[in-house]
Structure 1
Amino acid sequence: MHGALVAAAEPAAGSSLGQGATLAVAAGSVLVLLLLIVFLKLQPMIALLGVSLVTALVLGVPVDGVMELLNEGLGSTLAEVALLVGFGAMLGRMLEITGGAKVLAESLVGLFGEKRAPLALGVAGLLFGFPIFLDAGVVIFLPVVFSVARQLGGSVLRYALPVVGAFAVMHAFVPPHPGPVGAAGLIGAPVGLLLVFGLLVGIPTWLISGYAFGRWMGERAFVAVPEAPETDEELENKRRPSVGTVLGLLFLPMVLIFINTGLTTLAKVGVVNGDSTVVQVLTLLGESSIALAIAVLVACVVLGLKRGMGGREIEGELSGSLSSIAAVILITGAGGMFGAVLAEGGVGTALAGALNNAGIPLILAAFLIAVVMRVAQGSATVALTTSAGFIAPAVAAAQGLSSADLCLIVIAIASGSTVLSHVNDSGFWLIGRLLRMDVPTTLRTWTVMETLIGVVGFVIAWGLSAVL
């Protein structure tokens, strides 16, 4: 692959400080946050609010605009995850209390064998991760993971990390997820070919970074499996659904979301009429939160009413599932608040400017810019799309780039946007809290795995670019 990045450094947007000072403030805020949470054991929401407030003021955000910025960061993150996590928890609760998760877990273990249970769960994660976003997919699938872990024993990480890694890989590398699709549009890479390269890079990346690392870490870091909700065993056996019913409930939101993403993509390229009422209705039904809500309603009928549960009992179970994930949602929102402060303070621009070295190969520059965007503001999808926009002029000016080259540049950006998930990433808090991990454990499991995914994915993409 030919081409190099040559770009002028820009001042940090939103910050009155210089580039070096802006980076120092960002690094200091992260260190203070880790100190408060890890060593002083301060409640994460309080720590995130305090550090976000001080960081915003130091970076020059006007005093009368600080709370508006914090509320926007909190609100935008909650808007993305609250309904997803809430409805996902409800669906998971219905699968747990009726034995559906146990049925699917026993079937997977029986099909692959006990020794290959992590592989079976990970492969299922790859399949479900094709159309479903990471947050929703993990919440839906964790009850199955917990059921397998209870059955076979050991650290829950041995079974959970291959699944979480599978969703992370698909979310970053493979269309129709919004990050790679948006980046492809900015870079000019064909989405169909990007799907091929996404799988070509993503599957071996998952085998190394998700499956192999997950099994290795599962032997070295013990995290207990959450206790199963109390159920009447005799009643549970009576209500036990078939494997087909469970798969149908899991595939229902997946199919609806797939229809949404497929129609949206086809409408953008003019294959279908985006103004058609039918297309708009199907697209609406395939919105992640609505698709999950539909799945919950179907589960209430199929797993609940048809198996002898009363309406009051179902309502009680659904409400109970929300109480267990309220802290997860709020801490995740607070992480988004901190990310918004760093973004508004111009940290991403300052980091990108620091990479302004002529002669860097284009694919390497794409990866490094995405890394700094990811570290600065937290969101992988935002890092992917903003990095693609940043480097798009250099790609357009480069000579001799093929469609394959363009796809591999997108994969490089996706790889960079995955690494170093830390305290300003809402996903860091979501995964950590769902798996009942403290911050140090989340850093050495989830953060390391995300970094491995990014590095391994980039190495494979760079290798392919050298031979194609």
Structure 2
Amino acid sequence: MDPIQPVHSTTVLLLIAAAAVAVLLVLIMKLRLHAFVALVLVSLVTAVAAGIPLVDVPAAIAFGFNSTLGSVALLVGFGVMLGRLLESTGGAQVLADTLITRFGEKRAPIALGVAALLFGFPIFFDAGLVVFLPIILTVARRFGGSLLTYALPAAGAFAAMHALVPPHPGPVAAGVSLEGDIGVILLVGVPFAVIAWYVGVVLVSRFLAARFVIDVPTVLFGELHDHNERPDRPTPSFGVVLALLLLPMLLISLNTVLSTLIQAGTLEDNDAFAFLRLLGNTPVALLVTLLAALLLLHRNTGSLAETSRLLDDALGPICSIILITGAGGMFGGVLRVSGIGTALTGSLADIGLPLLVQAFVIATALRVAQGSATVALTTTAGLIAAPVADAGYGDFRIALIVMAIAAGATVLSHVNDSGFWLVSRFFGMDEKTTLRTWTVMETTLGVSVFALACLGWGAASALG
């Protein structure tokens, strides 16, 4: 749904957006109204206050809700079922024990984060996080202390790869809009993601975990079992578990490679390639992986009826998570349709800042205004495409501008971001704690990326 023509001035629209966020926080954090009810109510009132025609308000509300559920529900559903299988059969503990044996207790958070960086190359943030969740919880339960010690490095790694590195849609779309070389963006994005992850996530997560002790939640998988205490129960091998984690990554990577080669004209599309690309579609890849897990783990799960009950138990607790995440997308969608983001970025585009700084500021404003990092990336790139073209920058500087846009699109995740609610519910944190941990970490990650982009820009200027 396209943004409407604003009926209010930019100042009024910004005040409406600020008031909506403030009211939402009061309803949830002070009055303790259920987050799903509060998000729907505030979305409805915001749509009316922002001047969306009353006849279009239902469509505006459904727009963000439907698009978010369409991308999240299948991923979370299949991912949680796969995670439940890995946890209940001991597969998560096998993988956790292997990581701990090879890296040691002190380096376990780094090991989880490095694994997430690798798996996050082709896999979207939400899909990667839900598949990795049982491993994170198993490691956290074994060593104790705050869940954030282990959860933030892994979640931050998925966030960094999703924002900075092709083939994820945000950096690809931004690169295309700015007529940059996707290969150069990839070569710049990977080291930027790794460095910013260590500085802005790993180091910061140690500080946050010391301040906020979050217990391992039981809402998704119940009480986690120590399978070493049950030697009579067979557990899958490390190779089987690793293969199940690698399978979706390989399928999605194959889809990415084939799509890229076909778009470049290197390959000619046909039915065989179309079928392989279908298998690499993220929900389909997770479905294939779940079926493979049912086949490979059938000796560990019992009868098919018992396995079905296990999967049914896994789906129940995530209904609330999916609905709240969808409502978060609804709120962000209303802010986009209302024209708040467009009005704000239009006023920022002409303030005379250097292009690198302008890219970061506009993307930050869009991120704060409407929540979606991908929308902030693509919209900002479109707004500054003309001045970037006029400047005649080479591929390296364009890649740095894409990094600056991605940095702004990462910071200040809050209540209009569906990812905020996903993390809040998966990690068992209330909204206030999520703002003080996840929002802070996302901001330090984005600021670290922008600092690297400025350093790269300075080095390019010094070299002429």
Q: TM-score, normalised by structure 1?
A: 0.94
Report sequence identity in percent: 51
Cα distance between partner residues in 2 of 1:376 and 1:200: 29
1:72: how far off? 1.8
Work out the CA distance in 1 between the residues paired with 2:17 and 2:73: 27
Q: Which residue of 1 aligns with 2:374?
A: 381
What is aligned with 2:203? 212
Residue 353 of structure 1: CA displacement? 2.7
1:428 to 420, 428, 441: 420
Alpha-carbon separation, structure 2, partners of 1:340 and 1:308 = 41
- Contact 1:388–1:413 (8 Å) recurs in 2: yes
Q: Find the partner of 2:266 among 255, 271, 296.
A: 271
Q: Structure 1: how far apart are the matches of 2:24 and 2:222?
A: 34
Q: CA deviation at 1:199?
A: 1.2
2:78·2:290 contact (CA, 8 Å) conserved in 1? yes
Is 1:112 paired with 2:103? yes
Residue 248 in structure 1 maps to residue 243 in structure 2: yes
Runs of at least 4 residues of structure 1 off by over 6 A?
Answer: none
Do the aligned partners of 2:301 and 2:307 also contact (CA within 8 Å) in 1? no
RMSD of equivalent CA atoms: 1.4
Alpha carbons of 1:236 and 1:425: their partners in 2 closer, same or farther (altered >3 Å)?
Answer: farther
Give the Å deviation of 1:22: 0.7
For 2:74 and 2:234, the matched residues in 1 are separated by: 27
Q: Could you report, residue by residue, the CA deviation over 1:64-92 in whole angstroms, capped at 9, with x for unpaired residues?
A: 11112111211111000000000000000
After superposition, residues 96-107 of structure 1 pair within 5 angstroms as: 96-107=87-98
- Give the whole-Å Cα distance in 2 for the aligned partners of 1:427 and 1:108: 27
Which of 375-384 and 85-94 deviates more?
A: 375-384
Query: What displacement does 1:271 show?
Result: 1.5
The alpha-carbon deviation at position 13 of structure 1 amounts to 4.5
Match of 2:293 in 1: 299
Whether the 8 Å contact between 2:174 and 2:402 is mirrored in structure 1 is yes
In 2, the alpha carbon distance for the partners of 1:131 and 1:99 equals: 26
How far residue 441 of structure 1 moved from its aligned partner, in angstroms, is 0.5
Which residue identity does 1:260 align to in structure 2?
N
Distance 1:101 1:452, change over 3 A: same
Query: For residues 308 and 128 of structure 1, what CA distance do their matches in structure 2 show?
Result: 26
Q: Deviations over 1:179-215 (max 9, x none)?
A: 1111111111111111110012111100011111112
Are the aligned partners of 2:88 and 2:301 in contact in 1 as well (CA < 8 Å)?
Answer: no
Q: Give SS of 1:219's match.
A: helix
For 2:265, give the aligned amino acid: G
Which blocks of at least 5 consecutive residues in structure 2 are unaligned? none
Shift of 1:235: 6.2
Counterpart in the other structure of 2:254: 259
Measured against aligned partners, the alpha-carbon deviations of 1:106-142 in whole angstroms (never above 9, x if no partner) come to 1111111111111111111101111100000000001
- Judge conservation of contact 1:201–1:460 (CA < 8 Å) in 2: yes
Contact 2:4 2:338 in 1 (8 A): yes
Conserved? CA contact 1:98–1:236, under 8 Å: no
Structural mapping, 1:41-52, within 5 Å: 41-52=32-43
Q: What does residue range 314-463 of structure 1 map to in structure 2 within 5 Å?
A: 314-399=307-392, 401-463=393-455
1:286 lines up with 2:280 in the alignment: yes
Amino acid paired to 2:239: G
The secondary structure found in structure 2 opposite 1:360 is: coil
Aligned-partner Cα distance in 2 for 1:310–1:220? 45
* Contact in 2 for aligned 1:284/1:290 (Cα 8 Å): yes
Check whether the contact 2:89–2:301 (CA below 8 A) recurs between aligned residues.
Answer: no
Q: Is the 8 A contact 1:97 1:229 kept in 2?
A: no
Query: How far has the Cα of 1:398 moved from its partner?
Result: 1.0
Q: 1:372-395: per-residue Cα shift (whole Å, max 9, x none)?
A: 111111111111111111111111
CA distance in 1 between partners of 2:450 and 2:306 (Å): 50
The number of equivalent residue pairs is 454
2-side partners of 1:222 and 1:109: how far apart?
A: 21
What CA distance in whole angstroms lies between the structure 1 residues aligned with 2:459 and 2:367?
A: 28
SS in 1 for 2:305: helix
What residue identity is the alignment partner of 1:370?
A: A
CA distance in 2, matches of 1:336, 1:285: 27
After superposition, residues 191-206 of structure 1 pair within 5 angstroms as: 191-206=182-197
8 Å Cα contact 1:52/1:341 also seen in 2: yes
The reply to whether residue 152 of structure 1 matches residue 146 of structure 2 is no
Q: Deviations over 1:332-355 (max 9, x none)?
A: 000111111111111111211332
Q: Give me the whole-angstrom Cα distance separating, in 2, the residues matched to 1:267 and 1:376.
A: 36
**What is the rounded CA distance, in whole Å, between the counterparts of 2:321 and 2:217 in structure 1?**
15
Q: Aligned equivalents of 1:201 and 1:232: distance in 2?
A: 38
**Distance in 2 separating the partners of 1:238 and 1:462:** 55
TM-score (norm 2): 0.95
Aligned with 1:114: secondary structure? coil
| Equivalent residue number for residue 234 of structure 2 | 239
Structure 1 unaligned residues grouped into runs of 5+: 1-11
Query: What CA deviation, in whole Å up to 9, does each residue of 1:286-337 have, x standing for no partner?
Result: 011000011111111111x233611101111111111111111000000111
Partner of residue 176, structure 1: 167
| Structure number with higher relative contact order (C-alpha < 8 Å, ≥ 6 residues apart) | 1
